[in-house]
């Protein structure tokens, strides 16, 4: 570096002022990097792989590493949002008026279910509530029909929260339903992520909705000034519809045509494949509260704190639990939930995810489960809309295959469904991927359904994924070329930063 400054810039090119500025910049970057290194060691002790990756980045690329860490190194959502979230949580607690009906609070669950439920509650999630009717579909047309029909049936409120809201045919169908509801006097609120729905937020469709009376708010705006106070790539990755506080829908589906990324890395024959649930019953109230918390973070709750209704108990309903997560909750509940499901499985666990970049503990858990005789099945897409994520996902395949894990690559479309089923006993429908971004960075929603019949239905949906998948042969995988292995290992080096 001294040679570059003295011999090349100063003596060779005669750029003395440039050499001075460059030298002072490097010196300042070094001092800042040392301070950041101390902070990394202090704050990331629980994640040594991430700490080492960041330290290597800082000192291999002094200026770029410093900028990267300041921008995306920590889960800062901003002091204003943290204070606002604390006020919202206090307000919700004061007006909570929780359930007291023993039919809602009392449910007969197995030991495994009880332990999973306790894990969620100890992490700050709402308690398990009984008396819910839960429907599941993997049909994209039916998913849109459910959303639009419930909005069309709204009498008081229609709330929607989506990471991606496109202006295509699906977006038009949902937007028209929201506009119709607003015109007939329903309070309609639409919260969309600032990055995932950037095009919609700048589109005529947004203006049409607002003209019809729909309140449209951008979640986590990504601006240059925001970089100074918050991490700009923290996103609200939830997908949620709540109507009249009595019906809710969630899952992996965005408001977009299944082939909305056909012009990118995914070809025209690679549409998104999603899972979606529709819920009626007490647990809808918890999803309504979750929406209000997110809405309040961006728009404020105003003078009056809205008290969600207590939905009616559904005859023959089943127990379910809402598991919210995000940087404002300051917990690893999604990671804990997945690892607990793996550890508590006795016969079989099936997981589907579009992005598989787990931590070492999750990999070890899957290996141990397979070696102790549990049938472990992991379904991932063959085509992926992220080249880096696809490479990083595959680096752990050899370990899992060697342990006896069944690995299936879905060959028809982009499998975007994020599901877990355990022993035909419980099922998890979530917006979270099996990666660090979902564990620690994004706002996500998970619903755990503690019911054998629903778990069996989930297993049937997962079996339909397997029917359109090819099982990875351990021998063939071991014979892969050196170039593929090197690319995967290279991608794995930055996986702690993804």
- State the catalytic residue, choosing from 193, 244, 336, 451: 244
- Beta carbons of 381 and 410 less than 8 angstroms apart: yes
How many CA atoms are closer than 13 Å to the CA of 47, on its beta-carbon side? 19
- State the catalytic residue, choosing from 150, 261, 416, 435: 416
Q: Which two tokens stand for residue 127?
A: 């308690």
Using DSSP bridges, classify how beta strands 375-381 and 348-352 pair: parallel, antiparallel or unpaired: parallel
Burial class, 173, CB count within 10 angstroms (exposed 0-12 / middle 13-18 / buried 19+):
middle
- State the catalytic residue, choosing from 239, 294, 359, 451: 239
Q: Is 310 a catalytic residue?
A: no
Q: How far is CA 249 from CA 34, 43, 288, 470, in A?
A: 48, 37, 11, 31
* Other beta carbons within 10 Å of 265: 14
Q: Is 418 a catalytic residue?
A: yes
Q: d(Cα 386, Cα 390) in Å, to the nearest integer? A: 6
From the list 454, 498, 152, the residue with the least C-alpha distance to 321 is 454
Using DSSP bridges, classify how beta strands 426-430 and 444-449 pair: parallel, antiparallel or unpaired: antiparallel
Q: Is 215 a catalytic residue?
A: no
Q: Which two tokens stand for residue 61?
A: 């690329």
Q: Is 118 a catalytic residue?
A: no
- Beta carbons of 362 and 466 less than 8 angstroms apart: no
- State the catalytic residue, choosing from 259, 274, 418, 435: 418
Could you tell me which residues come within 8 angstroms of residue 175 by beta carbon, excluding any fewer than 6 positions away? Answer: 205, 208, 209
Instruction: Output the CA angle 404-334-396, nearest 5 degrees.
Output: 30
- State the catalytic residue, choosing from 44, 85, 237, 410: 237
Q: Is 423 a catalytic residue?
A: yes
Q: Is 233 a catalytic residue?
A: no
List active site positions. Answer: 237, 239, 244, 416, 418, 423
């Amino acid at each position: 570096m001294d040679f570059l400054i003295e011999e090349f810039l100063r003596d060779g090119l005669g750029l003395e002022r440039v050499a001075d500025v460059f030298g002072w910049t490097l010196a300042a970057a070094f001092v800042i990097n040392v301070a950041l290194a101390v902070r990394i060691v202090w704050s990331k002790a629980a994640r040594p792989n991430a700490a080492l990756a960041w330290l290597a980045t800082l000192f291999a690329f002094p200026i770029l590493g410093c900028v990267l860490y300041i921008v995306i190194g920590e889960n800062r959502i901003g002091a204003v949002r943290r204070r606002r979230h604390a006020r919202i949580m206090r307000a919700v607690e004061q007006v909570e008026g929780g359930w007291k009906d023993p039919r809602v609070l009392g449910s007969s669950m197995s030991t495994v279910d009880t332990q999973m439920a306790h894990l969620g509650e100890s992490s700050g999630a709402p308690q398990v509530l009984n008396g819910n009717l839960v429907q599941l579909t993997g049909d994209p047309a039916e998913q849109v029909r459910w959303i639009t029909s419930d909005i069309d049936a709204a009498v008081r409120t229609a709330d929607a929260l989506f990471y991606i809201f496109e202006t295509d045919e699906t977006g038009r169908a949902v937007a028209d339903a929201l506009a119709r509801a607003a015109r007939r006097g329903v309070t309609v609120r639409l919260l969309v992520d600032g990055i995932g729905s950037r095009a919609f937020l700048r589109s005529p469709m947004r203006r049409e909705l607002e003209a019809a009376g729909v309140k449209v708010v951008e979640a986590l705006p990504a601006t240059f000034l925001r970089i100074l106070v918050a991490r700009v790539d923290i996103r609200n990755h939830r997908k949620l519809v709540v109507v009249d506080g009595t019906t809710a829908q969630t899952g992996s589906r965005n408001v977009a045509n299944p082939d909305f990324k056909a012009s990118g890395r995914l070809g025209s024959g690679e549409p998104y494949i999603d899972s979606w649930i529709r819920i009626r019953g007490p647990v809808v109230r918890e999803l309504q509260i979750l929406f209000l918390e997110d809405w309040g973070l961006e728009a404020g709750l105003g003078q009056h704190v809205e008290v969600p209704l207590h939905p009616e108990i559904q005859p023959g309903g089943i127990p379910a639990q809402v598991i919210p997560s995000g940087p404002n909750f300051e917990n690893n509940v999604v990671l804990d939930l997945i690892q607990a499901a793996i550890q508590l499985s006795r016969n079989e666990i099936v997981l589907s995810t579009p992005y598989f970049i787990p931590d070492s503990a999750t990999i070890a858990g899957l290996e141990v489960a397979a070696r102790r005789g549990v049938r472990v099945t992991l379904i991932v897409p063959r085509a992926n809309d992220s080249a880096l994520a696809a490479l990083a996902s595959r680096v752990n395949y050899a370990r899992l295959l060697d342990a006896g894990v069944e690995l299936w690559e879905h060959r028809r479309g982009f499998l975007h469904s994020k599901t877990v089923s355990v022993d035909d006993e419980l099922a998890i429908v979530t917006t979270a991927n099996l990666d660090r971004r979902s564990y620690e960075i994004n706002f996500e929603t998970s619903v755990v359904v503690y019911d054998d019949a629903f778990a069996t239905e989930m297993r049937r949906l997962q079996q339909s994924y397997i029917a359109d998948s090819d099982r990875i042969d351990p021998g063939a995988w071991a014979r892969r070329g050196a170039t593929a292995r090197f690319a995967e290992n290279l991608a794995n080096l930055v996986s702690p930063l993804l």
